Amino acid sequence: MSNIAAVRQLVETGKTKLIAAATAEALKEGAAATEILEAMIDAMGVVGEKFSTGAIFVPEMLIAAKAMSKGVEVLKPHLAGKSATSLGTCVIGTVKGDLHDIGKNLVAMMLESAGFTVVDLGVDVPAEKFIAAIGDDVKLVACSGLLTTTMPAMRDTVAAIKSSAASHIKVLVGGAPVTSEFAREIGADGSAPDAGSAVVRAKELLKAA
């Protein structure tokens, strides 16, 4: 089995104790960090499908998430560069009712390496907490949501920001169920399907500001 296939398998089966060494081994063998990350994301897709069909349950999903997070820790220095430019502060969080944070953490990491100072509010963040975190240096708010059931919370968050004193702050939204149509419909300034394009979109939004 190739090292990348091994990493994929270890995430899928939630082998939290073995994943760091396997990820380091794959890097040592010359695999690109982005390629290993793709394999981890694919593995989480498989985990999601298995959950959908009832082959696994929440605890298995949780342990796969823990394995992925440990693997990402090893990849982090290889994924995130250091930018010389400062783009201002971005407040990021997963919306109220939603506990998924792997995608949000990846977006935060990429924004940070692009030059943003990132204030991460964590998961299950109510609209008021997003608004309270918007200080003078904040240029962007990024909201993540993975559940269709928390899409209304994302709508409420964007609406609350846009009707607050911080209405001029750009809001970027994302997460698996978020489409560009939905983003437009709820009044967000933009959306992106993955962490890499989140950075591109974030920079575009600031330029347009």
Closest CA to 38 of 105, 106, 93, 92: 106
Residue whose C-alpha is closest to residue 65's, from 14, 106, 10: 14
- Nearer to ligand B12 among residue 28 and residue 148 (C-beta): 148
User: From the CB of 127, what's the least distance to ligand B12, in Å?
Assistant: 15
Within 8 A by CB and 6+ apart from 35, the residues are 4
Q: Give me the DSSP letters along 44-58.
A: HHHHHHHHHTTSS-H
| Distance in Å, CB of 112 to ligand B12, minimum | 13
Q: Please, what is the minimum distance in Å from the beta carbon of residue 46 to ligand B12?
A: 8
Burial class, 153, CB count within 10 angstroms (exposed 0-12 / middle 13-18 / buried 19+) = buried
Q: Shortest approach of ligand B12 to residue 198 CB, angstroms?
A: 4
In the bound complex, what is the minimum distance in angstroms from residue 136's beta carbon to ligand B12?
22
Between strands 138-144 and 170-174, the pairing is parallel
CA atoms within 13 A on the CB side of 98: 31
What x-and-dash track marks residues 49-88 binding ligand B12 by CB under 6 A? --xx-----x--xx--x-----------------------
Choices 6-14, 21-29, 79-87, 92-100 (CB under 6 A): range interacting with ligand B12:
92-100
Q: Does 98 interact with ligand B12 (rule: CB under 6 A)?
A: yes
For residue 94, the surrounding DSSP H or E stretch is: strand 88-94
Which of the residues 144 through 203 are near ligand B12 (CB under 6 A)? 144, 146-149, 172-177, 191-192, 194-195, 198
Q: How far is the CB of 175 from ligand B12 (least distance, A)?
A: 4
Give the range of 22-30, 83-91, 137-145, 162-170 binding ligand B12 by CB under 6 A: 137-145
Q: Which amino acid is at 26?
A: A
* Of 31 and 46, CB closest to ligand B12: 46
Q: Is 208 exposed, middle or buried (0-12, 13-18, 19+ CB in 10 A)?
A: exposed
Residues of this chain that interact with ligand B12 (CB under 6 A) are 41, 44-45, 47-48, 51-52, 58, 61-62, 65, 97-104, 106-107, 142-144, 146-149, 172-177, 191-192, 194-195, 198
